[in-house]
Structure 1
């Protein structure tokens, strides 16, 4: 079963639920009363927004999710309850406050053009009684879940005192906590593992004048490092719309992932989709960089949809298949005949079983030296011969699907031979990559690559990262 299905993931979400209303109508004339359009109502539909959209996406990814949130006692709260009941993977504790309106965003559309948005909301903090109820529910539920998401739309649920208590309990129980922030100060989230602001949200936490001479990526790195040090975060992932994402971790490593050009139809809810799939991938055992690649892919699909939307696992597979990267040797040779004149062709090979951040960084660094990167992937059969009967952990179909989702890999060829020499001599790459744990003279194909004017480059491996170590750790903890 593909790890993309995330069927064993259990996510607990605490945050501001919103009822998103989409009102369709027609505009055919201007009002005689004022220079404004006359909107003729046709229909209205409702979807879960805010924290509700986060949990919708978790469930669309196949994970089980529980939501703790606050609503009013109005008819809109009944709409929210009905929408939650429709999803078999979603459960919820919704606390009703008598003097609170349910947050609603009513968007009026004519065709695909948004005419007006009307918001109904109360932003003041929830009562102490409600805070105590939320914490009691959270304390009761948390042991049953892998990942905690705090979806903060700054609507009054995640008060300073409550948020600190939620994070402190998660830390004591060694649960990973991910925060999607909407505040100018991140101090309230101190001690959380991962923070996922967009670029503007990150910028708002800092004095921009202190960083005016820096590029966008350096600015993100600088502000993120300040916040990580100040508030003890493990990492900050900044979403940058069409420019991709930037990950800055506690060890000051920076990982920038670009996005493929997409037709952006509607950005509402893309951040919810990102944090949902980040949680799903993290709970399945993926490391931060890998989880971010999957989350970025999901968010990229989301912006191509109308309105607040969820993204399914099948859509992620479809998005990967649309840009097919798996080639036979014959197909690869034909493609290279077309592109080789204007592109520097790179080549690397390996098992890439139980993919970790060391693999990701190795591939990213390899791509820096070429325009088109080919990955020759050992088949299941060849891995068994090399590593033993208990390997691979991840079968070749799933390894291909995971690796195909990485933008820095352009082509994948699965091979069953003892080594990739046949592929190298057939494809004749301009540059070949291998890890620095090899000596140049021992790299299969290096002499052949040199013979046609190419080069072999040894790439640094991330210290302490290896599939064997991961497997041993899992077995020891089982």
Structure 2
């Protein structure tokens, strides 16, 4: 991509509205110091110095989209509880719309508490219920999503699936079918339970372990050909692009006919939390922009790498990513 194409791409992000559907949570960080070992058990005692609550899961994708200049709408079900009220407060603080949020007395708002000392994770505690949406609440939520897709101009739909029960097979089928009728691209960050239910989506983004587990096959480590053979199984389900994140090896992307492999940039990795959310956020805007398969992978990979340099689940800013893209394409002789 040349400089004009890069700037046009980033300048147009503000024209896009993206519906993010999926499991949301509060990422709570408890920062402290380890000063001694407990006399009660061989575990460290943390002297707490600070607590911070952040939007997590699908809400972090929405946050990433907002930081990139786009207009996210989050569709999720949370508990009608104290943590749910905290979640809505965090949404409003970040100026994110709450029209797609449904509260239910039959669910608990997920909160993941990470205990951190000297930039090292010591412990994580999860409070959640993961039963699948059913009956009246499932239908209410699906109709709310359908109403958003029908009444608003949506440019992409992202399914952010954490296997917490919000995304059901029925929901997937109805939202994908409606999106296809309205010519809206659909992207998926999958987990195991619904892995094979996302027929006919535009872009499917598992990591290497998820694609192997989801298809129940062994993928030869380091072999793009073996990975492409696995991707073909998903292409046969009508999926246009398979986009696999490979950690330190970078990313792989394919359509039914060819693949491309993009190596990771050398970075000082502080924390990989939230990198996948950043990648799918960027990919959704690139896909809505109509750029080619390889450049979707390159730009998304750059964003995922940038966020790994920061501690915690942190969204990436548009201008930082723009600068990184210009530097990358300059280095490769294509930004001028």
Whether TM exceeds 0.5 here: the answer is yes
Change in Cα spacing, 1:204 to 1:29, as seen in structure 2 (3 Å) is: same
Q: Which has the larger radius of gyration?
A: 1
Equivalent positions of 1:57-206 (< 5 A) are: 57-88=64-95, 90-143=97-150, 144-183=153-192, 186-206=195-215
Q: 1:316 aligns with which of 317, 321, 327?
A: 321
Q: In the alignment, which residue of structure 1 is the partner of 2:10?
A: 4
User: Structure 1 length normalisation: TM-score?
Assistant: 0.65
Contact 1:154 1:182 in 2 (8 A): yes
CA distance in 2, matches of 1:285, 1:208: 32
1:74-131 deviations in whole A, cap 9, x for unaligned?
2211221111112336444211111211011100111212111000111110232121
CA distance in 2, matches of 1:200, 1:258: 18
CA distance in 2, matches of 1:284, 1:206: 30
Q: In the alignment, which residue of structure 1 is the partner of 2:31?
A: 24
1:201-226 deviations in whole A, cap 9, x for unaligned?
111123435x55x7531221110011
Q: 1:405: Cα distance to partner?
A: 3.3
Contact 1:84 1:92 in 2 (8 A): no
Contact 2:33 2:118 in 1 (8 A): yes
Q: Per the alignment, in what secondary structure is the counterpart of residue 182 of structure 1?
A: coil
CA distance in 1, matches of 2:67, 2:97: 10
Pairs aligned (count): 327
When the two chains are superposed, the root-mean-square deviation of aligned CA atoms in Å is 1.9
- Structure 2: tracts of 5 or more residues without a match: 1-6
1:309-332 deviations in whole A, cap 9, x for unaligned?
100111113334xxxxxxxxxxxx
Q: In the alignment, which residue of structure 1 is the partner of 2:3?
A: none
CA distance in 2, matches of 1:284, 1:410: 22
User: Structure 2 length normalisation: TM-score?
Assistant: 0.92
Equivalent positions of 1:350-389 (< 5 A) are: none
Q: In the alignment, which residue of structure 2 is the partner of 1:430?
A: none
- Structure 1: tracts of 5 or more residues without a match: 321-400, 415-478
Q: 1:184: Cα distance to partner?
A: 5.5
Q: 1:307: Cα distance to partner?
A: 0.4
Contact 1:57 1:310 in 2 (8 A): yes
- The answer to which structure, 1 or 2, has the higher relative contact order (CA under 8 A, 6+ apart) is 2
Q: In the alignment, which residue of structure 2 is the partner of 1:54?
A: 61
Matched, 1:410 2:328: no
Change in Cα spacing, 1:206 to 1:135, as seen in structure 2 (3 Å) is: closer
Matched, 1:256 2:261: yes
